């Protein structure tokens, strides 16, 4: 992680316009076709949530804006990204687990299983926020929700995704997600591109 001069980036105007805004966060909603994920999950014995996080990482890695993040009054640049997941821990509460993104699905799955188990047992968060640009996620997989808007704390500016229970249809399985992002980090077009890439990664997932 290193500080960069916003004037030397494509985010110069956005940095000037949005860094001091009372609420610079924007939220998009999208319904994804996750039929392929469900098929791979069941056929290969892989966790659905892990596959979602993997596809999120693959899509984000293709959008350069994900490697920058406003922090405090600075714009920081990262060499790597990570995907966060919320874990039910041994005390009946929840803990946070950052997963380093790897293009290799087997490696990502191994890290997912190892780190989520470690966090669940220790009740200690696994934090990579100083090493990687972290994409937050929260899966309310047992509940049917139509969408959710994240809270802007003024402290964490990371992009964040929320989803609930997928819906089985006659011909496909769908999942409605929300994607919240800081307008300094990216514009609506970048966010829409990411969501389209996410859908493509889901539909073309090889495992």
Does 16 score more than 80 pLDDT?
yes
- Decide if 14 is inside a domain: no
- Decide if 95 is inside a domain: yes
CATH number at residue 195: 3.30.559.10
Instruction: Supply the pLDDT for residue 162.
Output: 95
CB-count burial class (<10 Å; 0-12, 13-18, 19+) for 169? exposed
Residue with more model confidence, 152 or 110: 110
**Residue 84 CA: distances (Å) to CA of 61, 91, 137:** 15, 20, 6
146: how many CB neighbours lie within 10 A of its CB? 9
Domain range holding 133? 2-6+26-203
- Decide if 156 is inside a domain: yes
Does 153 score more than 80 pLDDT?
no
The domain total for the chain is: 1
Instruction: Supply the pLDDT for residue 136.
Output: 96
- Decide if 11 is inside a domain: no
If you average pLDDT over residues 120-144, what whole number do you get?
Answer: 96
- Decide if 94 is inside a domain: yes
- Decide if 17 is inside a domain: no
Residue with more model confidence, 111 or 156: 111
- Decide if 51 is inside a domain: yes
Does 150 score more than 90 pLDDT?
no
If you average pLDDT over residues 32-53, what whole number do you get?
Answer: 97
Instruction: Supply the pLDDT for residue 195.
Output: 98
The model's pTM:
0.96
Instruction: Supply the pLDDT for residue 160.
Output: 96
Does 154 score more than 80 pLDDT?
no
- Decide if 173 is inside a domain: yes
Q: How far apart are CA 72 and CA 165, in angstroms?
A: 34
Confidence of residue 207 (pLDDT cuts 50, 70, 90): confident
């Amino acid at each position: 992680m290193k500080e960069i001069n916003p004037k030397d980036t494509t985010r110069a105007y956005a940095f000037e316009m949005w860094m001091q805004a009372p609420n610079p966060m924007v939220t998009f909603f999208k319904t994804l076709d996750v039929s392929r994920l469900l098929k791979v999950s069941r056929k290969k014995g892989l966790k659905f949530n892990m596959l979602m996080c993997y596809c999120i990482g693959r899509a984000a890695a293709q959008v350069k804006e994900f490697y920058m993040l406003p922090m405090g009054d600075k714009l920081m640049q990262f060499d790597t990204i990570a995907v966060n997941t919320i874990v039910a821990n041994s005390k009946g509460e929840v803990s946070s687990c950052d997963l380093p993104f790897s293009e290799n699905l087997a490696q990502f799955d191994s890290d997912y299983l190892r780190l989520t188990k470690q966090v669940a047992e220790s009740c200690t968060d696994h934090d990579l926020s100083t090493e990687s640009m972290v994409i937050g996620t929260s899966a309310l997989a047992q509940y049917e929700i139509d969408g959710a808007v994240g809270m802007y704390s003024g402290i964490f500016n990371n992009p964040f995704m929320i989803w609930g229970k997928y819906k089985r249809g006659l011909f496909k399985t769908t999942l409605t997600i929300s994607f919240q992002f800081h307008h300094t980090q990216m514009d609506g077009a970048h966010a829409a591109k990411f969501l389209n890439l996410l859908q493509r990664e889901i539909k073309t997932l090889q495992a």
